[in-house]
Amino acid sequence: GAGVSQTPSNKVTEKGKYVELRCDPISGHTALYWYRQSLGQGPEFLIYFQGTGAADDSGLPNDRFFAVRPEGSVSTLKIQRTERGDSAVYLCASSSDRGSIEAFFGQGTRLTVV
């Protein structure tokens, strides 16, 4: 597809379980971002990749959250020991070059921890 693709669209998991959220960026985009949007709030920055490396992970809330982008394309956000407070829409975005902040967003994964 032409846009940023995120799977799954919805994920319901039990408290304490491990989840993985996947992002397929626009082909050729070197920069990839993860944001989290809680109800009634704007997106909050989690992590930024330039190529395969995490250039800025200052937004990850704690060590239960981890993200990888091993081949510089697809990225996976991993959350261990999920908590009810992790429930949110997780948004992925990509942009074409290092200097461009005008990123294209995917539709998001709605995570619900019960």
Question: What is the Cα–Cα distance from 69 to 50, expressed in whole angstroms?
Answer: 9
Contact of 35 with 47, CB cutoff 8 Å: no
Q: Is residue 56 near another protein by the rule CB under 8 A?
A: yes
- How far does the chain reach from its first CA to its final CA, in angstroms? 32
Q: Select from 8, 12, 55, 112 the one that contacts another protein (CB under 8 A).
A: 55
> Least distance in Å: CB of 19 to another protein?
19
The pair phi, psi for residue 25, each rounded to 5°, is -75, 175
Using CB under 8 A as the binding rule, the residues of this chain from 9 to 28 that contact another protein are none
State the residues that interact with another protein by CB under 8 A. Answer: 4, 31, 33, 35, 40-45, 48, 50, 55-56, 58-59, 91, 93, 98, 101-108
